Protein backbone atom coordinates (compact mmCIF):
# COMPACT_ATOMS: atom_id res chain seq x y z
CA UNK A 1 0.00 0.00 0.00
CA UNK A 2 1.31 3.41 -0.98
CA UNK A 3 1.10 6.00 1.79
CA UNK A 4 -1.15 8.92 0.89
CA UNK A 5 -0.10 12.52 1.44
CA UNK A 6 -1.97 14.19 4.27
CA UNK A 7 -3.92 16.30 1.74
CA UNK A 8 -4.91 13.21 -0.26
CA UNK A 9 -5.99 11.50 2.97
CA UNK A 10 -8.05 14.55 3.96
CA UNK A 11 -9.73 14.68 0.55
CA UNK A 12 -10.50 10.97 0.66
CA UNK A 13 -12.01 11.31 4.14
CA UNK A 14 -14.14 14.20 2.84
CA UNK A 15 -15.31 12.18 -0.17
CA UNK A 16 -16.21 9.28 2.12
CA UNK A 17 -18.30 11.68 4.23
CA UNK A 18 -20.04 12.88 1.07
CA UNK A 19 -20.75 9.27 0.10
CA UNK A 20 -23.05 9.02 3.13
CA UNK A 21 -24.74 12.33 2.32
CA UNK A 22 -22.62 14.35 4.71
CA UNK A 23 -22.88 18.03 3.84
CA UNK A 24 -20.96 21.29 4.13
CA UNK A 25 -17.71 19.31 3.91
CA UNK A 26 -14.63 21.46 4.30
CA UNK A 27 -10.91 20.88 4.57
CA UNK A 28 -8.97 23.37 6.67
CA UNK A 29 -5.21 23.56 6.08
CA UNK A 30 -3.61 24.00 9.49
CA UNK A 31 -0.07 23.01 8.47
CA UNK A 32 1.35 26.53 8.64
CA UNK A 33 -0.79 27.64 11.62
CA UNK A 34 -0.41 24.88 14.18
CA UNK A 35 1.41 21.72 15.11
CA UNK A 36 -1.87 20.00 16.04
CA UNK A 37 -2.18 18.38 12.60
CA UNK A 38 -1.88 19.23 8.91
CA UNK A 39 -5.60 19.22 8.06
CA UNK A 40 -9.03 19.25 9.64
CA UNK A 41 -11.87 17.71 7.68
CA UNK A 42 -15.23 19.03 8.88
CA UNK A 43 -18.59 17.59 7.82
CA UNK A 44 -22.17 17.78 9.03
CA UNK A 45 -25.00 15.31 9.44
CA UNK A 46 -28.72 15.83 9.99
CA UNK A 47 -29.14 13.67 13.11
CA UNK A 48 -27.04 11.67 15.57
CA UNK A 49 -27.67 8.47 13.59
CA UNK A 50 -26.55 10.23 10.40
CA UNK A 51 -23.40 11.54 12.11
CA UNK A 52 -22.51 8.02 13.27
CA UNK A 53 -23.16 6.60 9.76
CA UNK A 54 -20.84 9.21 8.22
CA UNK A 55 -18.17 8.45 10.84
CA UNK A 56 -18.46 4.72 10.14
CA UNK A 57 -18.14 5.32 6.38
CA UNK A 58 -14.97 7.39 6.86
CA UNK A 59 -13.52 4.94 9.37
CA UNK A 60 -14.34 1.85 7.26
CA UNK A 61 -13.20 3.43 3.99
CA UNK A 62 -9.83 4.49 5.38
CA UNK A 63 -9.38 1.20 7.21
CA UNK A 64 -9.77 -0.61 3.87
CA UNK A 65 -6.62 1.09 2.62
CA UNK A 66 -4.69 0.62 5.85
CA UNK A 67 -5.44 3.77 7.86
CA UNK A 68 -6.62 3.13 11.42
CA UNK A 69 -7.53 6.12 13.60
CA UNK A 70 -5.15 6.84 16.44
CA UNK A 71 -8.15 8.02 18.48
CA UNK A 72 -11.96 8.00 18.13
CA UNK A 73 -14.23 10.13 20.25
CA UNK A 74 -17.95 10.91 20.48
CA UNK A 75 -19.27 7.96 18.47
CA UNK A 76 -21.76 6.98 21.20
CA UNK A 77 -23.38 10.41 21.42
CA UNK A 78 -23.37 11.30 17.73
CA UNK A 79 -23.26 15.08 18.23
CA UNK A 80 -19.58 15.45 17.41
CA UNK A 81 -17.44 12.52 16.29
CA UNK A 82 -13.70 13.00 16.09
CA UNK A 83 -11.49 10.60 14.14
CA UNK A 84 -7.79 11.34 14.64
CA UNK A 85 -5.42 10.08 11.94
CA UNK A 86 -2.53 12.15 13.38
CA UNK A 87 -1.85 14.35 10.31
CA UNK A 88 -5.57 14.57 9.53
CA UNK A 89 -8.33 15.00 12.09
CA UNK A 90 -11.89 14.40 10.91
CA UNK A 91 -14.74 16.19 12.73
CA UNK A 92 -18.29 15.10 11.97
CA UNK A 93 -20.95 17.23 13.59
CA UNK A 94 -24.67 17.27 14.12
CA UNK A 95 -25.34 20.62 12.39
CA UNK A 96 -26.52 22.61 15.49
CA UNK A 97 -23.45 21.41 17.39
CA UNK A 98 -21.21 22.51 14.51
CA UNK A 99 -22.73 26.00 14.58
CA UNK A 100 -22.20 26.19 18.35
CA UNK A 101 -18.51 25.23 18.30
CA UNK A 102 -17.75 27.04 15.01
CA UNK A 103 -14.36 25.47 14.30
CA UNK A 104 -14.18 27.28 10.97
CA UNK A 105 -14.42 30.60 12.81
CA UNK A 106 -11.91 29.49 15.46
CA UNK A 107 -9.45 28.54 12.70
CA UNK A 108 -10.49 31.46 10.50
CA UNK A 109 -6.93 32.07 9.23
CA UNK A 110 -6.72 28.57 7.76
CA UNK A 111 -7.04 28.19 3.98
CA UNK A 112 -10.23 26.25 3.26
CA UNK A 113 -11.26 23.85 0.50
CA UNK A 114 -14.96 23.07 0.06
CA UNK A 115 -15.80 19.56 -1.15
CA UNK A 116 -19.02 19.06 -3.05
CA UNK A 117 -20.77 15.94 -4.19
CA UNK A 118 -20.29 16.21 -7.93
CA UNK A 119 -23.06 14.88 -10.16
CA UNK A 120 -22.07 12.17 -12.61
CA UNK A 121 -21.07 13.43 -16.06
CA UNK A 122 -23.90 13.85 -18.54
CA UNK A 123 -23.96 11.20 -21.26
CA UNK A 124 -22.99 12.57 -24.63
CA UNK A 125 -25.53 12.24 -27.39
CA UNK A 126 -24.77 10.52 -30.67
CA UNK A 127 -24.87 13.90 -32.41
CA UNK A 128 -22.32 15.34 -29.97
CA UNK A 129 -20.04 12.32 -30.45
CA UNK A 130 -20.23 12.65 -34.24
CA UNK A 131 -19.49 16.36 -34.02
CA UNK A 132 -16.46 15.78 -31.78
CA UNK A 133 -15.09 13.13 -34.16
CA UNK A 134 -15.55 15.51 -37.06
CA UNK A 135 -13.77 18.28 -35.11
CA UNK A 136 -10.91 15.93 -34.25
CA UNK A 137 -10.53 14.93 -37.87
CA UNK A 138 -10.32 18.50 -39.10
CA UNK A 139 -7.63 19.45 -36.57
CA UNK A 140 -5.20 16.67 -37.43
Task: Count the domains in the chain.
Answer: 1
Taking only the tens place, the pLDDT of each residue in 38-78 is 999 999 999 999 999 999 999 999 999 999 999 999 988 88
Residue 94 placed within a domain: yes
Residue 114 placed within a domain: yes
pTM here?
0.82
Taking only the tens place, the pLDDT of each residue in 20-44 is 999 999 999 999 899 889 999 999 9
Domain that holds residue 128: 6-138
Task: Give the confidence band of 140 by pLDDT, cuts at 50, 70, 90.
Answer: very low
Residue 1 placed within a domain: no
- We report the CATH number of the domain holding residue 15 as 3.30.460.10
Give the model's pLDDT for residue 117: 81
Taking only the tens place, the pLDDT of each residue in 80-105 is 999 999 999 999 999 999 999 999 99
Taking only the tens place, the pLDDT of each residue in 109-136 is 999 999 988 755 565 655 555 555 554 5
Instruction: Write out the H or E segment, with its range, that includes residue 18.
Output: helix 6-19
d(CA 82, CA 77): 11
Cβ partners under 8 Å of residue 81, min gap 6 = 51, 52, 54, 55, 72, 73, 74, 75, 90, 91, 92, 93
Residue 38 placed within a domain: yes
Amino acid sequence: MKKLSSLALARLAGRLALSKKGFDVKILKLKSLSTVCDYFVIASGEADVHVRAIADAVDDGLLEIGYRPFHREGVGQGNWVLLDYVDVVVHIFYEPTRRFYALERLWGDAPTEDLVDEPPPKPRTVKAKAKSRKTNLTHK
